[in-house]
Amino acid sequence: MNNIQEKLIEDGKSVFAPTYNQLPIVLDGGKGVHVFDVEGNDYLDFSAGIAVNLLGYGDEGFSNALKRVIDNGIFHCSNIYWNKYSIEVANKLTNLSKMDQVFFCNSGTEANEAALKVARKYGKSKDINCTSVISMDHSFHGRTFGSLSTTGQAKYQESFFPLLEGVSYATYNDIKSVEALISSTTCAIIVEPIQGEGGIIPADKEFLQGLRELADKNDLILIFDEVQCGMGRTSEVFAFQSYGVTPDVVTLAKALGGGLPCGAMITKGKADNILIAGDHGSTFGGNLLAMAAASYVLDQISDKKFLNHVNLMSKYLVKKLYELKDKYPKQIVDIRGLGLMIGMQMTNPPQDIIKNCFDNKLLLLKAGTDVIRFVPPLVICESDIDEAISILDKAIEEVASK
């Protein structure tokens, strides 16, 4: 074997726990919305590291923000001390969300674990048995035990029972099914404003409004998991702003660090001051380098021009996808989503189409069982969309003619 890439992958396979089905490329560079493998192959990236790399690749301002931390020689100082970057980011997050308090961690699953702890402690302060949580069918909240327990998809849970007790699953977008599950032991409702892994399913506005009303009426903590749909993706900084419904807790990760590991939980009102010293923590949460990244990201996405661009690109992408739907009515069932979190539901599982696109240097993702997911960097432009659509068009045609 003399191909560098194949050799690296062979090495990786011999030492990695086999938890991923990686595609056969080793990435190590990028510019704009393109990524490059170690052999210099160039891919148009409509996956953005699964909704992470919102600024694309090679953003000079982002690199400079990181360099400033690197040059000071300290990346980590532990939460025994303060660091100015995390204070800066907490201020930006609370100002932008109009919420109150921030807890920093490193990933989406950790942000949800923190939210579940807030919910339980809040519930228990009222009644020792008030510990159960309502989640949704087809939801995805992460892979640690609390988050996994609230993930409403058996395939992720099956091998790991027993999970957290007291989690029940309502039907997404069906407020009556949520109401039917509320009891005296319920402390919280957790929901993604747009279900991501479950198949890019946006909540109806009335559903989120209904959840807010139920949470208020029954004194529950309403948690919005914006790990995938937050941070400018819907063309608002927070997805909940696209719906005009504010939760008690919002969880963030993925795009927050623009590519650096970073998560956060933001609380408001009754969810404030629930976790106190000793209740929760994270060695790396609020890490200087991750915070410098998040601070830069928040500056970019809070710019109206940036958000307007997301909105315009969303409209253009959706228009182009509808043209494909008209061309391939037998293959394409539905197009849905918000901003630049768009799903195209197919008649058949779309692996072959995604593989064909990959062979033609376009990176796309699947969601659910039959949805092609578009979560590109938010800095894409019309010509990137045209290029992606042309590759996808050929892929659908080729797979259909097989």
Ligand X SMILES: Cc1ncc(COP(=O)(O)O)c(C=O)c1O
Which residues in this chain contact ligand X in the complex, by CB under 6 A? Answer: 107-109, 112, 140-142, 192, 196-197, 225, 227-228, 253
- Determine contact, residues 222/173, Cβ cutoff 8 Å: no
Kindly tell me which of 92 and 254 has the beta carbon lying closer to ligand X. 254
Q: With contact defined as beta carbons under 8 Å apart, do 393 and 401 qualify?
A: no
Residue identified by tokens 């990181």 is: 66
Phi-psi sector, 205: left (phi>0), alpha (psi -120 to 50), beta: alpha
CB of residue 195 to ligand X, shortest distance in Å: 8
Q: Which residue is nearest to ligand X (CB)?
A: 108
- The residue (of 50 and 87) whose beta carbon lies closer to ligand X is 50
- Percentages helix, strand, coil for the chain (3-state, rounded to 5) are 45, 20, 35
Helix (H) / strand (E) element for 202: namely strand 201-202
Measure the CA–CA gap between 278 and 124, rounded to whole angstroms: 17
DSSP string over 323-343: HHHHH-TTTEEEEEEETTEEE
The secondary element (H helix, E strand) that includes residue 313 is helix 304-327
Nearest CB to ligand X, comparing residues 45 and 197:
197
Q: Which of residues 201 and 313 has its CB atom nearest to ligand X in the complex?
A: 201
User: Rounded to the nearest whole angstrom, what is the least distance from the CB of residue 8 to ligand X in the complex?
Assistant: 24
DSSP-derived 3-state class of residue 104? strand
Residue 201 Cβ vs ligand X, minimum distance, rounded to whole Å = 12
Tell me how far, at minimum, the Cβ of 44 lies from ligand X, in Å.
22
C-beta closer to ligand X: residue 146 or 166: 146
Report in angstroms how near the CB of residue 111 gets to ligand X at its nearest. Answer: 7
Q: C-alpha distances in angstroms, 73 versus 77, 262, 291?
A: 11, 20, 15
351-359 and 382-400 helices, crossing angle to 10°:
120
Query: Smallest distance, Å, CB 25 to ligand X?
Result: 21
Pick from 136, 164, 166, 172: which is nearest to 152 by CA? 136
**Nearest approach, Cβ of residue 164 and ligand X (Å):** 15
Residue burial 54-69, b: 16+ Cβ < 10 Å; e: rest: bbbbebeebeebbeeb
Omega within 30 of 0 (cis) for the link into 162: yes
Sheet holding 186-191, edge to edge: 101-105, 263-267, 249-252, 221-225, 186-191, 132-136, 167-170
Please identify which residue in the block is written with the tokens 């979560």. 375
245 or 399, CB closer to ligand X?
245
Q: Specify the residue, 90 or 260, whose C-beta has the smaller distance to ligand X.
A: 260
* Closer residue to ligand X, CB minimum distance, 52 or 385: 52
Interacting residues of 173 by C-beta distance below 8 A, sequence separation 6+? 201, 203, 204, 207
Least separation in angstroms between residue 233's CB and ligand X is 11
Nearer to ligand X by Cβ, of 112 and 241: the residue is 112
Question: Least distance from C-beta 229 to ligand X, angstroms?
Answer: 7
Please say which residue, 331 or 345, places its beta carbon nearer to ligand X.
345
Residue 72: φ, ψ to 5° = -80, -10
Shortest reach from residue 112's CB to ligand X, in Å: 6
